[in-house]
Amino acid sequence: MNKNNHSTVTRTLFLAACCFAWTLCVVWTLSVYAAQAPEPKEPAASYTERGADTCLKCHDEDSKFPVLSIFKTKHAQFADRRTPFAKLQCESCHGPGAQHAIEVPEGQKQAPILKFGVTSQVPLEKRNEICLGCHQNEARVAWQGSPHANNNVACASCHKIHATHDAVLAIREQPPVCLNCHKRERAEFDKPSVHPVRFGQMGCNSCHQVHGAIGFTYEHILHRYYKRAQWLEAFAGYGRVHRAAVAAAILDGEAA
């Protein structure tokens, strides 16, 4: 091989090596950029322009999910700045609904929105968080860690937010709501001697702190005295037995 041919081969190999090195640099740079590039974000959810008026176009009295009754509840009082309707109306609780309000062809599903019912796919903690955002005060300050919270009970499992009348807030109508889950207590209230719950004279919350805190049965020392009184009656006799015995002793003494 002469010198010219040797030089040509050398230059060719050198250029090939440079091209290969440049290609590797480009590939490495692109891979690093792709790894560092932020993932594309979903478009931010937006609110409707007309609030509840948008919702009512579908959720009227003929709808499968009517909501008109909420206007007779405390939640829909525009003049009270504490209520959802003084803020973002329906979307104060259900979240941004612009995408949900878009009409879709028949057979297709609308964009989801935050639901509170038993069929909701929204995590229970998220649903309760919406309610507790306004209601975690006074009687509900101890909800976290309460028996109902620890047993994954949703606020909407007991309360009917869209209903004109929430049964769980009425003494006469409250027990069936509670006893729907508390089956043993339902059976015990059919005993001859019980608290007058089934007669509408007491509610479950007359004794129990259903939203947490100290109750008046198992959470408080009162149950110790109650059980002790039962034990004494069983083994030492009822109060009327002792009263009769004392009266008889007094009468016998007077007769003597």
pLDDT tens-digit map of 209-236: 788 765 544 555 555 565 666 667 767 7
Sign of the Cα torsion 113, 114, 119, 122 reads: positive
What value does the mean pLDDT take over residues 143-159? Answer: 90
Please say whether the beta carbons of 45 and 98 come within 8 A: yes
Domain interval for residue 149: 52-206
Amino acid letter, residue 46: S
Nearest to 206 by CA among 181, 178, 231: 178
Please say whether the beta carbons of 219 and 148 come within 8 A: no
Residue whose pair of structure tokens reads 């002793």 in the numeric block: 249
- The answer to whether residues 166 and 101 belong to one domain is yes
90 pLDDT band, cuts 50/70/90, is: very high
- The answer to whether residues 34 and 59 belong to one domain is no
**Residue 144 pLDDT:** 83
How many CB atoms neighbour CB 175 within 10 A? Answer: 23
Classify residue 217: in a domain, yes or no.
no
Q: For residue 66, how many C-alpha atoms fall within 13 Å in the half-sphere facing its CB?
A: 9
Residue 58 to residue 49: CA distance in whole angstroms: 15
- The answer to whether residues 81 and 186 belong to one domain is yes
143 pLDDT band, cuts 50/70/90, is: confident
- The answer to whether residues 88 and 201 belong to one domain is yes
116 pLDDT band, cuts 50/70/90, is: very high
Residue 248 to residue 242: CA distance in whole angstroms: 10
Top-confidence residue, 176 or 16: 176
